[in-house]
Structure 1
């Protein structure tokens, strides 16, 4: 059973989830799930196989829900599917199909998709995450941690209303983890955006608006 605990006083709802049903296999991960995700940082926690990644994919509609509605302040899925997807950042660069794509080409493709993309922030993040030197490398040339940084930098620079980050700290060096947590702590006070971070445990040293335990 999903348990949603708010960590702060009532905040503005950024993502409204209504009667969401979907997931892999005959027994769906979500069945008529209704939640409101507040502004700031929400942690999605759970053991291996509890469905953290699948839930993020459902919220991004990368895994198409079989029923329900997802709504930000400016777009509703399924009625405004294209606009909704521009409001929600999701990226999975682990697949081999991305191996031949360069870091910069990945960022350029995502810049075209998200209308509020922040190039100055991307440059700042690339420097803090030590990715400037890798910008012209193809993804197969990167370590697992550096490949993950490509996704994280894009997510944080996307300007999306809802940013979905799947295990963002795995295989990262301590300096990069500190930099990402520093960004999230600044983002925690944003009045109209949310960052949903999935991992086994809620990230330490990060101000959370809510925790969604699977």
Structure 2
């Protein structure tokens, strides 16, 4: 199961990409996640929605191998936490977060993305001597519509351009699982729509990763997301096929405000305030 010389665990054939059961995370006496389960086969793309403090980012950190649950079982690509060195799984998992930005703000884009091929946090330009890393970086930048940014420096980019570079860096290692934590945060309308289109194309790539996307907003869901998990107070309120989960009544309950959920003919979702007197359990699809 290990790649010679690299120590990277490969996916077990036929195993789910994610098989997490009854996850509970307790910190300083506070239960952040409670009995949450997620199972994803290859190419089953999931969105995790919920208000602030509902446990979304904590769930992603568990799936990214950076946090162990207090209770429960987690297997990624057929490898169970506690039975393998999770560091050997990390090259197979792309985790997109703004947390690394202070380390790479003045780094040129191409070596930064090429470093993702090797799992390097803040690479030097010497990595450009590795033709495999450079090829992987250019391919990843192309996947997210950012090939033209290769020669720019990160601190000269707009928020939308930075987010494309973050995602490209995660894709450079050809991960089996891609975790996106609020990828549209800070983007204006144009930036959001452009990135949405690029992500939706990525979701159709037969050789691409299984994607888990965390957000607060239904309008930020690519049409090809197929499954949804609603979290509130650290617990799962609903989980399953997206059309069964994103109902007006369930979304209203999770966010604590009456909304009407609609899905357009092109597959895009939206949630709007419910007019006074309208039955909140109405479901529009």
Aligned-pair distance for 1:206?
1.6
Aligned-pair distance for 1:168?
2.0
Aligned-pair distance for 1:134?
5.1
Quote the Cα distance in structure 1 between the aligned partners of 2:109 and 2:138: 16
Question: Aligned pair 1:143/2:158, yes or no?
Answer: yes
Name stretches of at least 5 consecutive residues in structure 2 with no aligned partner. Answer: 1-13, 121-131, 232-285
What residue number does 2:45 align with? 41
Larger RCO, structure (CA 8 Å, separation 6 or more): 1
Correspondence list, 1:7-86, <5 A: 13-22=16-25, 24-39=27-42, 40-80=44-84, 81-86=86-91
Question: Aligned pair 1:207/2:224, yes or no?
Answer: yes
Quote the Cα distance in structure 2 between the aligned partners of 1:118 and 1:78: 31
Q: 1:98 to 1:69 in 2, by over 3 A?
A: farther
What residue number does 1:7 align with? none
Is the Cα contact below 8 Å between 2:199 and 2:222 reproduced in 1? no
What is the SS of the residue equivalent to 1:100? coil
Q: 1:107 aligns with which of 102, 113, 117?
A: 113
Q: CA RMSD in A?
A: 3.2
Q: 1:97 to 1:66 in 2, by over 3 A?
A: farther
Aligned-pair distance for 1:25?
4.4
Quote the Cα distance in structure 2 between the aligned partners of 1:78 and 1:135: 42
Quote the Cα distance in structure 2 between the aligned partners of 1:208 and 1:67: 28
Quote the Cα distance in structure 2 between the aligned partners of 1:108 and 1:134: 10
Tell me the TM-score normalised to structure 2 length: 0.58
Q: 1:204 to 1:17 in 2, by over 3 A?
A: closer
Is the Cα contact below 8 Å between 1:23 and 1:58 reproduced in 2? no
Q: 1:159 aligns with which of 174, 189, 203?
A: 174
Q: 1:86 to 1:204 in 2, by over 3 A?
A: closer
Name stretches of at least 5 consecutive residues in structure 1 with no aligned partner. Answer: 1-10
What residue number does 1:5 align with? none
Aligned-pair distance for 1:106?
2.3
Quote the Cα distance in structure 2 between the aligned partners of 1:177 and 1:121: 19
Quote the Cα distance in structure 2 between the aligned partners of 1:206 and 1:101: 33
Q: Deviations over 1:25-48 (max 9, x none)?
A: 431322343331233210111122
Q: 2:184 aligns with which of 138, 145, 169?
A: 169
Is the Cα contact below 8 Å between 1:155 and 1:165 reproduced in 2? no
Quote the Cα distance in structure 1 between the aligned partners of 2:139 and 2:24: 35
Is the Cα contact below 8 Å between 1:18 and 1:68 reproduced in 2? yes
Question: Aligned pair 1:121/2:139, yes or no?
Answer: yes
Is the Cα contact below 8 Å between 1:14 and 1:193 reproduced in 2? no
Is the Cα contact below 8 Å between 1:75 and 1:83 reproduced in 2? no
Q: From the CA coordinates, give the structure whose radius of gyration is larger.
A: 2
Question: Aligned pair 1:133/2:149, yes or no?
Answer: yes
What residue number does 1:89 align with? 94
